[in-house]
Structure 1
Amino acid sequence: MATGCAEILGILPPKTTDALRSMKQVAGRTLAALAMAAGLSGALATAPATADSQSVLSNGVEVTVCVQPGHYDIRAAIINGWNQNDNYVASPELFLDGDRRQQRCHKLREWWWKGTIDVDFWADNGDKLGTRTCDVPADKPFPVHTCYFD
């Protein structure tokens, strides 16, 4: 039986031990959606505010998402997590263009993340393949963190 990219990445539906994390993700997304619908938080309705380099280095970093060669079914990714303003936000769709036999990356500029982020992977047909996590340090010497997914 052929092994799909979702199995290789390990981004299958959450296991019982991941139930709490999954509930936290759903709760965060629900709160973000409610805040946007109510117009209570402009930060959730638009890209996170641009910050000067000093505050970025101490309160979040930009993220580059990379998938390793051979993930032929992955078209795009979306990052969900906490930004520099402590708001739970979702990025726009990050298209992972290029030769699918090679590593493909997308750097999301002027969005700053911290803590554990969830990266959703999407197929060409629009199906969600699954979610992986990446730990993003809130402060590091360089304001960019790369999350590699095998």
Structure 2
Amino acid sequence: MSTFNDYLKYDQNEEYERKQLRIMEKITFSDETLKKIKTIHNEIRIIAVAQVYCPDCRAIIAFMQKFVELNPNIKIKYKTKEDAKDLKYGNIERIPTLIRYTDDTDEIFLSEFPKVVKKMMEEEPEKFEDIKYNFRTGKYNTEIEKELVDYLSVL
């Protein structure tokens, strides 16, 4: 499995790497999020099936990598879709896919879009493209931050 730096180099395209790093620079967390993430004491291991060319991946990976920077108990290993074929889930079609794993269980907790974004898309399918664009450009970052933090902080 790969590191964040490996993920940045998967496609050997510096423009994608720059886009990912620019998004990360813009991510800021609420005080509540900082407190919750910093107080996670259990090790949380995640496999991120993602590729830096994907704008949806760049949006989600920015959050996840920032969490890793805040708390060394959160560990992420990266896989491309091709490399993920060895996972028990078979062929993962949607990226990003985030999988929490322990010695006993695996759980996909995000596939392509956060739940909050999927719900908006389901409720207003005629606005699918607008919602996707807004997700990619950070309009829903507060809601996504809350969703991810709520998931990680109860583990």
TM-score of the two chains, using structure 2 as the length reference: 0.30
Answer 1 or 2: higher relative contact order, Cα 8 Å, separation at least 6: 1
Structure in which a larger fraction of residues adopt helix: 2
Structure in which a larger fraction of residues adopt strand: 1
TM-score of the two chains, using structure 1 as the length reference: 0.31
